[in-house]
Every structure is written in C-alpha cells, then in structure tokens.
Amino acid sequence: MSAEPSIGAYPNVLVRYFAATRPAFLTASLMACLIGLSSAWHDGFAFNAATALVTLVFALLAHAGANVLNDYYDDLNGTDACNEERLFPYTGGSRFIQNGVLTEKQTRNYGFALLAVVATAGLWLMANAGFQLLYAGLAGLFIGWAYSAPPLRLNSRGVGELCVAAGFLLITVGSDFVQRGAFSAAPLIAGLSYALLVTNLLYINQFPDRLADIKAGKLHWVARLGVQRARWGYVLIVAMAYSWLLLCVLAGGLPVFALMAFGALPLSVRAARLLLLYAAQAARLADAIRLTIAAMLLHGGLLVFGLMVA
C-alpha cells in the first residue's frame, strides 16, 4: 500500500493541489469520455479535435472537483477521521485534511474553484456544440455536489451507486454530443456497461469504509445490508454490465467488435471471488479493489477500440 500524504511530501504548492484531486482515479472519467467520442466516431460524425480536447479537460476537472468536495464533506461528517480500516489510496479519502496537507477551508475553496472552471469550459462547449449540452452539464455538476454534500447527501441515502452510474453516463453522453451536435441513445447504449463497472469500484470501496460510514450516518447499501448479503451486490452489478453488453450486440445496438470488452470479464470474476471470500476482512480486499480498477479500465479501453474499428 502507498504511504499516506504529508505536508513534507508536497513542498511544491502546485503539486500538492494536483495530488489532492486523486489523479489516478481520474482515468475513470477519461475512459468514459473516450467511449463517448468513439460512439460518435462509430456513427460516422466528423471528429473535431478542439472540442474533443476541451471535453476531456472538462470531464477530468469535473471529476477532480467532485473528489475534492467529497473529501471536504467526508471530513465534516467525520467518516474519514474515524476510518481505521481504510485501504489507502483506495478508500478513506485522500487524507489531505486529516494529515494536515490542506485545511478544510482550502479543500472546500479548491473544490468549488474547480467546478467554476468546469462551468466556464462548459460555456465554451455549448457555444461550439449546442445549447442543449447545458442540461447534461448541470445534471453532472448537481450529482458531483449532492453526492456527499448536505442536505441531500445522496450516498448516505442509498442512491450513491445510481449517482455514480448516472454521472459517468453523463460524461459519455456529453462527449458524444459535442461531436454529434445532438443527443442520441447511442452513447447510453455504449456506455452503460462501463458505467456499471465504475459503480462497482464505489461499491467494493464501501466494504473497508463500512464501519466508519455507519458511525457517520452514511447508510449506503453495504452499510444497510451487512457484509454477507452486500457482497452479492457486486456479483449482481458485474452480471448486469456484461449482460447488457451482450444483449446490445445481439439486438444490433452495438457492433460485434464491442464483444472485445468481454476480455475484462476474467478480472471482474476474480475480483468477485476475492470479495465473496474476504468481504468481512477489510485488510484483505486490496487485491479485489485493484482487480476492479483493472477490469473497469480494460473493459472501457477494449470497448473504445471495438467501436472505432467496427
């Protein structure tokens, strides 16, 4: 496991603030964006490099802002402070506030500043792609804020998984929109299996965090169901993701080459087996979390490749 952050490890202010966004996890948004771009490409729309680049930056900054604000609000409710079973860097937050790298105020201001930059980028994209993009942008910003912020605290109310799936689908839909110039069902069809596998990353991360989350009143489904029942939720989400992909190919909604994304299934199955075995032993879940991340990214990458070559 990686060492937790300290003020001495980040003497450079810019590097410190960059690291606070948890950049390794931003690859999830990068892949969602690429799926949206490849969906439009597959349907024959001309590729606009400028809007594609701004879309990528837009998606990464939105995810970064959500990560930072999640750290801030999880510090306010106390869940990160009392988390003794965390598996850093995967669970328990960035630890930047708890370890004195950034203050609460700095974290809060930084998170909202990132979202303000996202809003500016969104205005440029709307001017170049279409006003309707506003709907997807506002929905994404709302989910990023309401996921952990009071009074809604959606993850604490058992809808965190839905928020994650919807949030990453919005990235895919928005990325497709800026190339296509209109909303389409195509990116929803293409992106849902990937969004479900991203959701499973949130889901498995809640097992090591479960006791701290219960103390803080974060009653997500892992907290509500208990370890033995909740572990099957991971299996269900994996089954939904790959079943959706197969059904869409069989129905003609996706090209046959999209089945390449099944190459990630062995990783998902292995992660599920580890979770079924060690769900109650937080310290033994690191490999399952790493496999979940690998399956998610491999699935997304193969799906992008399949859409582009079809």
The per-residue pLDDT for 1 is 67
Give the mean model confidence (pLDDT) for residues 1-22: 92
Give the mean model confidence (pLDDT) for residues 247-252: 97
The sign of the CA dihedral 17, 22, 27, 29 is negative
Count the alpha carbons within 13 Å of 41 in the hemisphere toward its beta carbon: 20
Torsion-angle region of 182 (φ positive above 0: left; ψ -120 to 50: alpha; else: beta): beta
Nearest of 272, 285, 270 to residue 231 by alpha carbon: 272
| Cα-based distances in Å from 150 to 60, 207, 234 | 24, 23, 27
Instruction: Give residue 124's pLDDT band: very low, low, confident or very high (50, 70, 90).
Output: confident
**Interatomic CA distance for residues 54 and 60, integer angstroms:** 10
256-280: per-residue pLDDT in tens? Answer: 999 999 999 999 999 999 999 999 9
Domains of the chain: 27-309 (1.10.600)
16-68: per-residue pLDDT in tens? Answer: 999 999 999 999 999 999 999 999 999 999 888 988 998 999 899 999 999 99
78-87, 146-155, 261-270: which is most confident: 261-270
**Interatomic CA distance for residues 19 and 10, integer angstroms:** 9
